[in-house]
A and B are shown apart, each in its own frame.
Chain A
Amino acid sequence: MEFSSEFIPLKLDEVPSLSDRMKSEHARFVQILAVNTDAGVDLVYSFMMGDGALQNYEVKGVKKTDVVPSITGNFLAAFVFENEIHDLFGVTIEGIAIDFGGKFYQLAQSEPMTIISPAQKAAREKAAKAAEAKRARAAKVAETEYAADHPDAIKQMKQKVSGIDPAQMADFEERFAGTDPEKLARIKAAFAAKAAKAAEAEQSRKSKRETRAAELENLDPEKAAKVRAALERKKKAAEAKRAVGSSNVERDAEIEAKLAQLDPERAAKVRAALDAKARKETAERAANTGKDGE
């Protein structure tokens, strides 16, 4: 006698014929078990043949509305398992020889094996996300290998796709050269999102401008002239405002004088902060170039 174990799929309506076949072959009934899955309850019927081969017949996805026929007609010992499966999984089995009618176990919860607690659900979702991230990382690795072979093509494609300005890109790569790739990816994604939003805003402004231009065309010429004059004034005001921000040469001179009086270390720090601020303003202005041009 040699032990071997195999899993054979079975359909729900083949269960009675299976039990008759096993009885005629003098196979020994081993057990019935149930597994709770998202698609329903899987049932596994196990029988051992005379030569030690253990055959497990699996019925997949039994729904709440399905009725499973009992095999206690041929194998009385199955009543224990069928009652248990009914109580713990809620599977309807008809024709059990000794039927306890749901009172086989007195439980604190009904059909407990089908209950998935919120903590477990969260854990399963987390596991699924981790698997997804692992897959993405593997794809990323493949991508970086490709990038190593074709550096320029990838860079161009990336910039086109993500909408990040090349100067910004270089600056950004420099700043985050040594960070953890996952974090890097997240930061890149954030930047891309910001650029995408800016591009979207740009799109909406453009379309607004176009509709405004169309409206102006349709208006009465006098009124149109008045509107155009109003827009001109608005534009001049915005420019003046920006001029104040950009051409603050006098202000710079004032600040320099003050810095000269300060302690040199502190002066260096202040200067660095001012430089960063100026850099930021230039970047913002570059992004907002099309804003008030209507």
Chain B
Amino acid sequence: MAYNSKSPWVIHYDASSCNGCDIEVLAALCPGFDVERFGIINTGNPKHADIFLVTGSVNEQNIKVVQEIYDQMLEPKAVVACGICACSGGVFHDCYNVLGGVDKAIPVDVYVPGCAVRPEAIIDGVVQAIGILDEKAKAMAQQKKGA
């Protein structure tokens, strides 16, 4: 039985983003677009979260931070890369300090492009991440049964 997908909590981190995508992520949580009606709450504690919303093209100093947050989250977890900077580096891909995409630091499940990414697209990405969470939870349960 998939509990996670009924009310997934998200944690959001800005990994060297310009802030445009971050304010759209917060706008998705606010009454204009309101993902809270799906039970989604923005938490600050990685151990409470199921979905990790990352924005920004990761820079040298941020690699460790992003990996720390990802490692602290508990299985099953999903990562949504919001914005084109998080998918591939965006317009900054050839800067000297930029890694170019979050998937170079942690494994990503859903890529949502856009500059700045629109709240509707973020909601779409989160819904897909919920589907992936369900699958991961099922796989974990199978493993436990098999073991």
By a CB distance below 8 angstroms, the chain A residues around B97 are: 105, 107-109, 112
By a CB distance below 8 angstroms, the chain A residues around B96 are: 107-109, 112, 115
Q: Mark A108-119, 1 if CB is under 8 A from B, else 0.
A: 110010010000
By a CB distance below 8 angstroms, the chain B residues around A106 are: 60-61
By a CB distance below 8 angstroms, the chain B residues around A112 are: 96-97
By a CB distance below 8 angstroms, the chain A residues around B61 are: 105-106
Please provide the chain A residues from 102 to 161 with a CB less than 8 Å away from any CB of chain B in the complex.
Answer: 105-109, 112, 115
Interface of chain A, helix or strand or loop or mixed?
loop
By a CB distance below 8 angstroms, the chain B residues around A109 are: 96-97
Tell me the minimal C-beta distance from B92 to chain A in angstroms.
Answer: 13
Tell me the minimal C-beta distance from B70 to chain A in angstroms.
Answer: 19
CA gap between A106 and B62 in the complex, in Å: 9
In the complex, residue of chain A having the shortest beta-carbon distance to the beta carbon of B59:
A108
Please provide the chain B residues from 58 to 72 with a CB less than 8 Å away from any CB of chain A in the complex.
Answer: 59-61
Q: Mark A82-119, 1 if CB is under 8 A from B, else 0.
A: 00000000000000000000000111110010010000
Residues of A in contact (CB 8 Å), total: 7
Please provide the chain B residues from 83 to 98 with a CB less than 8 Å away from any CB of chain A in the complex.
Answer: 96-97
By a CB distance below 8 angstroms, the chain A residues around B60 are: 106-108
Tell me the minimal C-beta distance from B122 to chain A in angstroms.
Answer: 29
Please provide the chain A residues from 211 to 267 with a CB less than 8 Å away from any CB of chain B in the complex.
Answer: none
CA gap between A112 and B59 in the complex, in Å: 14
Tell me the minimal C-beta distance from A120 to chain B in angstroms.
Answer: 11
CA gap between A86 and B61 in the complex, in Å: 18
By a CB distance below 8 angstroms, the chain B residues around A115 are: 96
Tell me the minimal C-beta distance from A275 to chain B in angstroms.
Answer: 59
Tell me the minimal C-beta distance from B120 to chain A in angstroms.
Answer: 35
Tell me the minimal C-beta distance from B27 to chain A in angstroms.
Answer: 30
By a CB distance below 8 angstroms, the chain B residues around A108 are: 59-60, 96-97
Tell me the minimal C-beta distance from B97 to chain A in angstroms.
Answer: 5
CA gap between A109 and B99 in the complex, in Å: 12
16 A-B interface contacts by CB (under 8 A): A105-B61, A105-B97, A106-B60, A106-B61, A107-B60, A107-B96, A107-B97, A108-B59, A108-B60, A108-B96, A108-B97, A109-B96, A109-B97, A112-B96, A112-B97, A115-B96
Chain B residues within CB distance 8 Å of chain A = 59-61, 96-97
Chain A residues within CB distance 8 Å of chain B = 105-109, 112, 115
Task: Supply 13 further A-B pairs (C-beta < 8 A) apart from A105-B97, A106-B61, A112-B96.
Answer: A105-B61, A106-B60, A107-B60, A107-B96, A107-B97, A108-B59, A108-B60, A108-B96, A108-B97, A109-B96, A109-B97, A112-B97, A115-B96
The 9 closest A-B pairs by CB, nearest first: A106-B61, A112-B96, A108-B60, A108-B97, A109-B96, A106-B60, A107-B97, A108-B96, A107-B60
